[in-house]
Structure 1
């Protein structure tokens, strides 16, 4: 579960930008979904580590007995302990993790976070990445964002803004209060 461990550590950094945090969550979620699609290989890797761990205390992996009705744990039919834990633990855990990440970091939230790429500091740090994110945000929120202006007008203003951000952060500050402010509803 190194996926979640690295995500937890990354999200606790005080200097982490929220846009980078959302990208990190998206990357981890994509990795978990890949692991779920290749569940046989994922489970085999985890199973080997678990067997090595329990062998240090002279324990052999086993599965609980299966009966007609089970109310306190999964009752997955399996021919081996590995197969049982793949059905009862690995698949369910990966599905649960992906489901929770999808629920907590929904697609529309990620689109709104892309609007933060319009912050001058983000543009100065990553001009091309910020430009693409801001355009994606403007496309998704076109009805709410643009005040009678077209997306092409917004794109032209954004290009000017990004070019100025790379040149000078002071120019960006005066530019924010100028033309982009009048282009967008505030």
Structure 2
């Protein structure tokens, strides 16, 4: 999969300048997943930090698709400002709708089976991850994807624990990126 996209030039020249833990390999894999989505897809990212993964997702979306970035930015308004600056600088702000709110409250804004992909990259506590997954899984269409970051991270074993406890089927695609497809 690493040969799917050229990783030099364009967006990749500046990728490493964006603060975040989303690796280049994971970004390539995520872009491949996004390219599998149908035209006009709604996608959701739970937890956006400074926009590193948001930019990679949005840059791979079809022209009529949209990414909803949901984050309460409780850590700092400096992080929010960096996020806004980065998505504008990378010229993906037209594909992103930003919702500054709690992930669980935001789930109420979306109908069941209305989302093609949900990317979970939120607070790393087992209960929080479980709650996010339980609230957002019904929002994913059949054939859509649930993607979780830091699945294999020894620093965050609670992510793997939450997915295991919920008995979700999926696979590690790249680095610490786990993906399941709704059937």
TM-score scaled by length of structure 1: 0.25
Q: Which has the bigger relative contact order, CA under 8 A and spacing at least 6?
A: 2
Structure with greater strand share of residues: 2
Q: Which has the larger radius of gyration?
A: 1
Structure with greater helix share of residues: 1
TM-score scaled by length of structure 2: 0.25
